[in-house]
A and B are shown apart, each in its own frame.
Chain A
Amino acid sequence: MRGLHLVQGVVERRNTLPILSNVLVEPAEGGIALTATDMEVGLRGLVPAQMKKKGSVTLNARKLYEIAREVTAEEVTLKSAQVGWVDLLAGRSKFRIVSLDPKDFPQLPLGTATVDGTSVRLAAGTLREMVDKTLFAVSSDETRFNLSGVFLSTPEAGTLRMVATDGHRLALVDRRVPEVKLPRGVIMPRKGLLEARKLLDETGDEDVTVVVSSKDVRLATPAVSFFMRLVEGEFPDYQQVIPAAPRAQVRVNRDDLFAALRRISLLASERSRGVKFQLERGRLELSASNPDQGEASEDVEITYAGDSLTLGFNARYVIDVLAVHGEGEVIELGFTDEVGPALLRASGDPDYTYVVMPMRL
């Protein structure tokens, strides 16, 4: 049931190829393997089962899932009756379902055996966190395909890095993963990551094996293996937008800033979502105004000893990143000037860098 639920998510919905609405059921070590794909991502789950006679079938994933959900029997029996049909027996219920030829099912890069890939093991939680801290910053502009995913690389051996940007903001997270070294960085598409993220949710605290090759990224646990195709293209040189030494340093409580910003942004203009940040000694005034609806302002207590400075930011961009930071964190903000990029880090997580461009208000 769980296996079916997992593969359900990745079957083709658009129905371009009938075989892709099906799940491939085939013999595997200790049971059967259920495989589904939409050619962009694919997933294989192992389910304990007894094989009386070896054979593969493909069955409509949705129907199989619906049946599995409704039948009360603990066990179901699948029997390939005649070519093109499969009998499913569960307690007193009998189903006869159409089966398509398993030979038409695409060959997928699943499992950890690989010719040209780099394999690394890490905790599912680490991977989950890295994805959460970057995926939201991925560009939604479809024409800039090299920004339409998260860039995975190893700036030095032992450091795994994910970077995402949409040209207005950038999220970069580094994590120590012993001995990891990729020959070159790869771009993982948003859709593939969303599916991977769902899988990681189910994985709990297990370790996952990640295999990175030039064409795909695979994830594998003992029970499940997953792949996503990669985006073609060069990720832009992102290093240059990260300010090395910001002039104005501000420390602020994450919860205070998060809550205040959410309140004030209610009256920011719908289109630009612009909120004014006015820095004074020990005090940050957030304000927003919208000619149609009114205005709002709020003071937030900060640690700051520099000159006063006024900048505008898209509230959404700042809220997004504060949302993934833990409650009670101390946030360090670094500003260069009114037009230069601003830096945002949590003091508890120096390896997570966020850069956001100010806007004119």
Chain B
Amino acid sequence: MKLRTILGHERAVERLRRAVAEHHVPSAFLFLGPEGVGKRALADALAARLLCAAPDEDDACGACPQCTRVLGGTHPDVHIVARDEDRRDIRIEQVRELTRWLTLQPLMATRKVAIIDGAHELNEHGQNALLRTLEEPPPGCHIVLLAPAASLLLPTVRSRCQLLRLDRLAPATVARVLVARGLPAERAQLVAELAEGSPGRALLLDGDEAVQTRARVLDALLHLGSRSAAEISEVAQDLARGPLDLALTISLAFYRDALELALAPDSTPPRTADGSPAVRMPATARLRQLEAVCDTIDALGQNANRVLALETMLLVLRNIERGGADREDRRSWTSRP
């Protein structure tokens, strides 16, 4: 990805191009923006621009040995730090490794770029370990931190970086990104609507597994009101076997739409057209349902049992749907010590 081929984010791209052209690239950048909005693509494009051997018109050429390796992810002077899949945060060893790597001379290019993809996943120790490096990076080094929000980082880290915000993209732009990735236009349009301005999220919503999960989640949520506790338990077990993150994301979108519908009954049909809640309910109830989903996401983030958490959530959602009391049910999962 070159800077020029980044779709949307025109202001951010322009700012980066100018910074490079004027040799004012800060040694520490912090890209902020929602998950999947294109922070990493932009960071990669910046890396290519910085390391390119023959840049033209303020952009990487995309063809020199430097560019092809940056874009292929095998450039020795680009270092990516990201959370290991089976971990809850970025290990402090990874930060130490980065610090040491930064002290080495570049191998192929004249400078080096480090990208911390998910800087908010550094724990406090990790962030503190990074402070010295952010303040005084070795010469010829650029560090780019990516995070969804500045508030997720220590103020000491934030204040040492130059901020660059990436806004959510318009659905049409998301669709263009998806089409550029080879999605049929019609499908791109549909998932783009659901993606909350984030091409990354849209891609997550595409694919066979996602389509199936979506059908199962919508089926579960639409028929909640008429399900018995035993049936709900079965549904929970079924969903917990699949991609749970996705199931919860879809649930969130579902209730957000429902809330929108409750607030503006005359508005256009909700975006989850094929699965809009049949029952009209007061906005406060929808809000409580949304809250229940958020609480579950939190609980799972703290290692709650997948099946139990999901089962509890579905029960709470059902009780709200039926107009019953939900507070007792929920407290068991979400009250923290």
Contacts and interface: CB of A to CB of B under 8 A. Distances in A.
A231 interface: yes
B105 interface: yes
Interface string A281-316: 000000000000000000000000000000000000
Q: Which residue, of B73, B75, B96, B103, has the highest number of chain A Cβ atoms within 10 A?
A: B103
Contact of A230 (B72, B97, B105, B140): B105
B65 A107 contact: yes
Interface in B111-146: 132, 138-140
Contact of B105 (A107, A143, A215): A215
B128 to A, nearest CB: 12
Contact of B103 (A104, A109, A231): A231
Contact of A107 (B69, B101, B102, B139): B69
Nearest to B72: A104
B229 interface: no
Interface string A230-259: 111100000000000000000000000000
A161 to B, nearest CB: 20
Given A106-B75, A145-B100, A148-B100, A229 B107 contact: yes
B76 interface: yes
Contact of B76 (A103, A106, A142): A106
B108 interface: yes
Interface secondary structure of B, over-half rule: mixed
A104 B107 contact: no
Interface secondary structure of A, over-half rule: loop
A336 interface: no
A117 B76 CA distance: 20
B204 interface: no
Contacts of A230: 104-105
Interface string A107-121: 111000000000000
A143 B74 contact: no
Contacts, number: 62
A197 B103 CA distance: 21
Contacts of A103: 72
Contacts of A233: 103, 138
A105 interface: yes
Given A40-B101, A189-B104, A215-B107, A232 B74 contact: no
A17 B100 contact: no
A232 B112 CA distance: 12
Contacts of B72: 103-104
B80 interface: yes
A229 B105 CA distance: 6
Contacts of A105: 74
B132 A40 contact: no
Contacts of B96: 142
Interface residues of B, number: 24
A215 B106 contact: yes
B100 A16 contact: no
Interface in A250-276: none
A19 B74 CA distance: 8
A145 B105 contact: no
A189 B99 CA distance: 13
Nearest to B101: A40
Contacts of B69: 106-107
A278 interface: no
Contacts of A14: 97
Contacts of A40: 101, 104
A317 to B, nearest CB: 24
A143 B102 CA distance: 11
A40 B76 CA distance: 8
A214 interface: yes
Contacts of B75: 106
B103 A232 contact: yes
A216 B104 CA distance: 9
Given A16-B80, A106-B69, A229 B74 contact: no
A159 B69 CA distance: 39
A106 B74 contact: yes
A39 B69 CA distance: 13
Interface in A1-32: 14, 16-17, 19
Contacts of A16: 80
Contacts of A231: 103-105
Q: Which residue, of A109, A229, A233, has the highest number of chain B Cβ atoms within 10 A?
A: A229
A109 B105 CA distance: 13
A145 to B, nearest CB: 4
B138 A145 contact: yes
Nearest to B108: A107
Interface in B34-82: 65, 69, 72-76, 80
Nearest to A190: B100
Contacts of A108: 76, 107
27 contacts: A16-B80, A17-B74, A39-B76, A40-B104, A104-B72, A104-B73, A106-B75, A106-B76, A107-B69, A107-B108, A108-B76, A108-B107, A142-B99, A142-B100, A145-B99, A145-B100, A145-B103, A148-B100, A148-B103, A189-B104, A215-B105, A229-B104, A229-B107, A231-B105, A232-B104, A232-B105, A233-B103
The 3 closest A-B pairs by CB, nearest first: A145-B103, A39-B76, A215-B105
Interface of A: 14, 16-17, 19, 39-40, 103-109, 142-143, 145, 148, 189, 214-216, 229-233
Given A106-B74, A142-B100, A145-B100, 8 more contacts: A104-B73, A109-B107, A142-B96, A145-B103, A215-B107, A216-B107, A229-B107, A232-B103
